[in-house]
Amino acid sequence: MTTILGLAGSLRRASYNAGLLRAVQAIAPQGVTLEIGQIRDVPLYDADAEAAGGIPPAVAALTDQLARADGLLLVSPEYNSGIPGVMKNVLDWMSRGPGQALFQGKPVAVIGASPGHFGTTHAQSHWLPVLRSLNTRPWFEGRLAVSKAGGLFDDEGNLTDPETRGKLSGFVAGFAASLTPKPAAP
């Protein structure tokens, strides 16, 4: 069984990115489980708070999920042509203390949805220095930046567009296949 931890980087109730992540969970290939991590209760990073109280429970839960996962899927919105602060804050917390080693060599894929014409291409590029600093192993074999998301999701933030669902299915299958150990050559 392959396990992927998915994090959606928006707190909005009907978030396109949370909807994209739920769609991944629904279409994951057989043998692949997507665990959705919850970021809502992660406080703003504060080194004084960390020194006084350690790692907050919401962060500890996410790092436990990351430790069990074979890969990490970041479903990132794009705000002002960059990465969302709330999502960056989550990774900043997760990389503290023992969590730092969990990112080393971890396969990571980044996708996202935006109402704009270019999807989340800028944010996906802006994630690269962060992923490099964490010593992750970014997956570059596929790319999915959903544009004009307002017409592809319903009022609850659920993906309704079959073409986007098909592209998402192919992306997830490719990422999941990259996480599966390859059999040794005879």
**pLDDT number for residue 98:** 78
Largest interatomic CA distance in the chain = 55
Q: Give the confidence band of 97 by pLDDT, cuts at 50, 70, 90.
A: confident
76: in domain: yes
74: in domain: yes
Sign of the CA dihedral with 123 first, then 10, 30, and 69 last: positive
94: in domain: yes
Element (H, E) at 84: none
Element (H, E) at 110: strand 107-113
Average pLDDT over residues 104-120: 96
Average pLDDT over residues 155-180: 96
55: in domain: yes
Which CATH number do you get for residue 94? 3.40.50.360
89: in domain: yes
**pLDDT number for residue 186:** 60
**pLDDT number for residue 16:** 97
Q: What is the pLDDT of residues 21-80, one digit of tens each?
A: 999 999 999 999 999 999 999 999 999 999 999 999 999 999 999 999 999 999 999 999
184: in domain: no
Q: Give the confidence band of 99 by pLDDT, cuts at 50, 70, 90.
A: confident
Structural domain tally of the chain?
1
Q: What does each C-alpha distance from 180 to 30, 71, 107, 141, 186 come to in angstroms?
A: 12, 10, 11, 15, 18
186: in domain: no
Average pLDDT over residues 4-17: 96
Q: Which domain holds residue 171?
A: 2-179
**pLDDT number for residue 183:** 54
18: in domain: yes
